[in-house]
Amino acid sequence: MVKKGIVLMNLGSPDSTEVKDVRRYLDEFLMDKRVIDTPLLWRALLVKGIIVPFRAPGSAKAYKSIWTKEGSPLIVISKQQQQALQEQVEEPVAIAMRYGNPAPWDAFDELMQKAPGLEEVVLVPMYPHYAMSSYETAVEYAKKVHKNRKYPFKLSIVPPFYKDPRYIDALSESIRPYLTEDYDHIVFSYHGIPERHVEKTDPTGKHCLKNAECCNVGNPAHAFCYRHQILETTKLVAEKLNIPKEKYSHSFQSRLGRDEWLKPYTAVRLAEMPKEGIKKLLVVCPAFVADCLETLEEMAEEGKEIFLHAGGESFTLIPCMNEQPKWIGALKELVQDAK
């Protein structure tokens, strides 16, 4: 009898592209204290009074431009990843989202039904890097649901896999075919976060962002440092693919609000690069293991337009790993290692 189950947990999407559904999704997302980390009253005022009413119609339009017959790309691809992994393992696999549907309890209930007597569920937060607004909130929420609803099984969690050779290999192989093209530069564009979040998750309270080199000097804070982790991923992939130092760089996309976020900003770099002689650009987004609004709309549409408008000649966005066999194989092994 199978005693174990697997949950792949990603961020989530609105139920439809209607403004009311996008509003509800943004409200749940941005009211999360690990995403907008201001005191509750101020957060409620900001989110419900300003951000959501002003942002929802624009976000709904952006979602419309990428929506498929089957629904949101992030959810559709998550289901494809679930099926692909299911073909490789005998334990039942379910998906859950941090915001919207399916919720973690939907996934846990599904697994309980498929495997009566379930003893352990392995949760895979589908984020390679630690950030309080992605990995941490997914894990804390899943733990809360697990505890409050008194599920009888043990919950094991896959740690951030930003330097795991199996993730690095799968990511590198997804990039390799594009390097045979004639290109001037490859940008590793990661989802940005406010600088304050990096400082907040520093358990030493005195390392992260305290000097320009902090992420390159060994420190226990790196287990929680998003910036250190994305620099590691970039370096390891570049080494594996023999990309010369001058031909690659990293940057951060998707900034929201006026706070200082991790820099450089992708949108700013895309506008500067053609003036520096970079005309043929490759872009990869390693913080996402499934294509989503931030890759298909923000990068493939907006980012491309910024670069071409600034004098760039070609802009190639490398797809996320989605359900590529090498990535699914890596996922299977990450699950097997979880304790």
Ligand X SMILES: C=CC1=C(C)c2cc3[nH]c(cc4nc(cc5[nH]c(cc1n2)c(C)c5CCC(=O)O)C(CCC(=O)O)=C4C)c(C)c3C=C
Stretch that binds ligand X, among 38-46, 158-166, 241-249, 287-295 (CB under 6 A): 287-295
Under rule CB under 6 A, residue 155 binds ligand X: no
Nearest approach, Cβ of residue 295 and ligand X (Å): 8
Residues sharing a CB contact under 8 Å with residue 70, sequence separation 6 or more, in sequence order: 76
If the CB atoms of residues 243 and 317 are measured against ligand X, the closer one turns out to be 317
Stretch that binds Fe ion, among 118-126, 156-164, 217-225, 275-283 (CB under 5 A): 217-225
If the CB atoms of residues 208 and 300 are measured against Fe ion, the closer one turns out to be 208
If the CB atoms of residues 200 and 235 are measured against ligand X, the closer one turns out to be 200
Site pattern 231..270 for ligand X (x: CB under 6 A): -----------------------x-x--------------
Stretch that binds Fe ion, among 97-105, 121-129, 200-208, 305-313 (CB under 5 A): 200-208
Distances (CA, A) of 4 to 7, 53, 122: 10, 43, 8
Two structure tokens written together for 38: 């201001």
DSSP-assigned beta bridge partners for residue 236? none
Binding-site residues for Fe(2+): 191, 294
Under rule CB under 6 A, residue 55 binds ligand X: yes
- Three-class DSSP category at 270: helix
Closest Cα partner for 319 from 338, 293, 292, 291? Answer: 291
Stretch that binds ligand X, among 125-133, 205-213, 232-240, 277-285 (CB under 6 A): 125-133
If the CB atoms of residues 157 and 225 are measured against Fe ion, the closer one turns out to be 225
If the CB atoms of residues 45 and 256 are measured against ligand X, the closer one turns out to be 256
Under rule CB under 6 A, residue 127 binds ligand X: yes
Query: How many residues are given for the chain?
Result: 339
Q: Report the distance separating Cα 289 and Cα 287, nearest Å.
A: 7
Report which residue type is found at 197.
H
What's the count of helices (H) and strands (E) in the chain, helices before strands? 13, 8
Q: Report the distance separating Cα 85 and Cα 78, nearest Å.
A: 11
If the CB atoms of residues 114 and 200 are measured against ligand X, the closer one turns out to be 200
**Residue 32: how many CB atoms within 10 A of its CB?**
18
Find the binder of ligand X among 4, 43, 52, 72 (CB under 6 A).
Answer: 72
Under rule CB under 5 A, residue 208 binds Fe ion: yes
**Residue 280: how many CB atoms within 10 A of its CB?**
14
The crossing angle, in degrees rounded to 10, of helices 165-175 and 226-240 is 60
Under rule CB under 6 A, residue 23 binds ligand X: no
Under rule CB under 5 A, residue 215 binds Fe ion: yes
> Given the rule CB under 5 A, which residues bind Fe ion?
208, 214-215, 225, 227-228
